[in-house]
Structure 1
Amino acid sequence: MARGLSRRAVVAALPLTAVAFSPPGAARAAAPGLSLSGKFVQGGYAIGHTAPRAVIDVDGPARTTASANGWFVIGFDRDAPPTSTLTVTTPDGSAEDRRTIAPGDFDIQRIDGLPPEQVTPTDPALLARLEAEGLRKQAGFASQADLEGFREGFVPPVLGARRSARFGGQRILNGEPKRPHYGVDLAVPVGTPVRAPASGLICFAETGLHYEGGLVLIDHGQGLVTAYLHLSKILVSPGTYVRQGQLMAESGKEGRATGPHVCWRMKWRGRNLDPSLLVGEGPFRA
């Protein structure tokens, strides 16, 4: 769109939810096109298309950059506020999208019979170990690969599973309230194949972790990272690329687990998302 168009013409060229703006007195610049779709709910997501390498701001500090093809992904935390504002900026202009975020429907889950050190660790050596493990996991979750695996849509990581816990439930462990459960628990026998639900980069893969047992993290692009906990065997290495459906691990009951299952989690830039909301969605096209 050429420079010098009226504000009315610029706004008319955008989706109904988008608003073009520029500083008072400044020359009117062409706002980037913006399309957005997803699940606008606590724990949900949105996948958008705009100008290549546009800067994306979400509610202030959560910033990402669109791919070379103009694709981007954002997430809404389990405790997201009731509204969210997304701003797309290019050298030629900006566009804004404001959305209402629906409240989530979260359970209360009670788990008893766990060893005390799995609930509230006190041993100094264990605390030091947990700190070291936490730093390594934090580095994995900080991955921001320049990929578009999220565009494929997602398939379940295991087949024939019974969902034994939903995302976001408040957990009470041995009678002690803890932070919400940020995963979807998929109950399957030990040794069940675990496959990549969408293509991406392996950004963490370790066994023997105190809480998670075997843990694999996949960055599906721009910091949309999925996690797979309690694995008995890991068949991939950090830095390798996996395609949707590729075998990467076997399920187990390692770490803090009362039975065999895979805990499936998803994060975007520190926000906790419900991975099951992406199953069956996509592929996303402009």
Structure 2
Amino acid sequence: MNKLLFFLFIIFISPASSIEFTGKFIQGHFIVGKTENNARILIGKKEVKVSENGFFVFGLDRDRKNDIIITKIKDGKKEKVIKKVFKRKYNIQRIDGLPENKVTPPESVYKRIKKENNKIGEARAINSNLTFFKDRFIMPVEGIISGVYGSQRILNGKPKWPHYGIDIAAKKGTKIKSSATGIVTMAEPDLYYTGGTIIMDHGHGISSIYSHLETINVNVGDKINQGEIIGTVGSTGRSTGPHLDFRINWFQTRLDPMSIIN
């Protein structure tokens, strides 16, 4: 091989960056990264965990407008990768003429809601060394997707929180599978908004939430393998019919579950 061919061969096989990504840089999406061992990774200004074999993970907010900067630091050298984040269009539904108690909860439950939200926030803030996040997730239940990520309702002229998961309609009592291997960090039978609720930790800030369950078959601290039955579909909490509300979070950033399944 002459020197020119050898040079061209080196250029062809040399990567533009020593950081690889799995996932799409779209609002609401889940991204798994792979880098060199012992490297440090910053997502924007936030340093994230890197596993012993170089895996890390992060997510893009529903409404993120700016590009994202990923910085690798190793041996005192910095490498920056800038990725454009593409916007999405979300479904907006306006409903007027509803009774006020269907739009805003009564003041008598405000303390309860705050307490429960704090517990959910604590579960989502866990930053463990588990690496189950890097494995493909599966659909937790068979059914019709009746609600999608990012959609928003405006009730009596008041914008409500966007929907941060997917709703899967199924018969009451339908078995729910764990979407991925993880550790149970919450197993509550009766939260105000979400009723029977399970939260599982998959490592590095990635958690999954299963809501409106009729029954719960796991306890906090249990290690659950992907595909194991964790509960059954119900209509508990503020729900209008039997379904599973399935969500994925990267710490406090809410992600589209379909981006981790697909």
TM-score by length of 1: 0.81
User: Is residue 40 of structure 2 the alignment partner of residue 58 of structure 1?
Assistant: no
The one of 178, 187, 191 aligned to 2:173:
191
Residue 38 to residue 267, structure 1, CA distance change in 2 (3 Å):
same
Once residues 98 and 73 of structure 2 are traced to their aligned partners in structure 1, the CA distance between those partners, rounded to angstroms, is 49
1:45-78 per-residue CA deviation (whole Å, 9 max, x = no partner) reads 2111113353321122x33111111111110010
Residue 93 (structure 1) shift:
2.6
How many residues get paired? 252
Please name the residue that 2:104 is paired with.
120
Please name the residue that 1:15 is paired with.
15
User: Is residue 69 of structure 2 the alignment partner of residue 69 of structure 1?
Assistant: no
Residue 186 (structure 1) shift:
0.5
1:191-210 alignment runs, 5 A limit: 191-210=173-192
Code of the residue aligned with 2:130 in structure 1: it is L
Once residues 197 and 98 of structure 2 are traced to their aligned partners in structure 1, the CA distance between those partners, rounded to angstroms, is 20
Kept in 1: contact 2:149–2:256 (CA 8 A)? yes
3-state SS, counterpart of residue 119 of structure 2: helix
Kept in 1: contact 2:206–2:248 (CA 8 A)? yes
Residue 270 to residue 13, structure 1, CA distance change in 2 (3 Å):
farther
Kept in 2: contact 1:53–1:65 (CA 8 A)? no
The one of 194, 201, 215 aligned to 1:212:
194
Kept in 1: contact 2:121–2:252 (CA 8 A)? no
Residue 190 (structure 1) shift:
0.9
Residue 180 (structure 1) shift:
0.9
4+ residue segments displaced more than 4 Å:
11-14, 110-118
Once residues 149 and 86 of structure 1 are traced to their aligned partners in structure 2, the CA distance between those partners, rounded to angstroms, is 22
Please name the residue that 2:209 is paired with.
227
The more displaced of 142-151 and 89-98 is 89-98
Kept in 2: contact 1:52–1:68 (CA 8 A)? yes
Unmatched segments (≥5 aa) in structure 2: 1-10
Please name the residue that 1:23 is paired with.
none
Code of the residue aligned with 2:55 in structure 1: it is W
3-state SS, counterpart of residue 121 of structure 2: helix
3-state SS, counterpart of residue 111 of structure 2: helix
The one of 67, 90, 101 aligned to 2:74:
90
1:141-167 per-residue CA deviation (whole Å, 9 max, x = no partner) reads 1112211112211110102x1010110
Code of the residue aligned with 1:150 in structure 2: it is F
Unmatched segments (≥5 aa) in structure 1: 1-10, 19-32, 281-286
User: Is residue 114 of structure 2 the alignment partner of residue 131 of structure 1?
Assistant: yes
Once residues 102 and 125 of structure 2 are traced to their aligned partners in structure 1, the CA distance between those partners, rounded to angstroms, is 25
Once residues 98 and 242 of structure 2 are traced to their aligned partners in structure 1, the CA distance between those partners, rounded to angstroms, is 14
Please name the residue that 2:244 is paired with.
262
CA-atom RMSD in angstroms: 2.2
Kept in 2: contact 1:153–1:198 (CA 8 A)? yes
User: Is residue 141 of structure 2 the alignment partner of residue 141 of structure 1?
Assistant: no
Code of the residue aligned with 2:253 in structure 1: it is R
The one of 135, 149, 159 aligned to 1:167:
149
Residue 279 to residue 88, structure 1, CA distance change in 2 (3 Å):
same
User: Is residue 262 of structure 2 the alignment partner of residue 277 of structure 1?
Assistant: no
Please name the residue that 2:141 is paired with.
158
User: Is residue 151 of structure 2 the alignment partner of residue 177 of structure 1?
Assistant: no
Please name the residue that 1:284 is paired with.
none
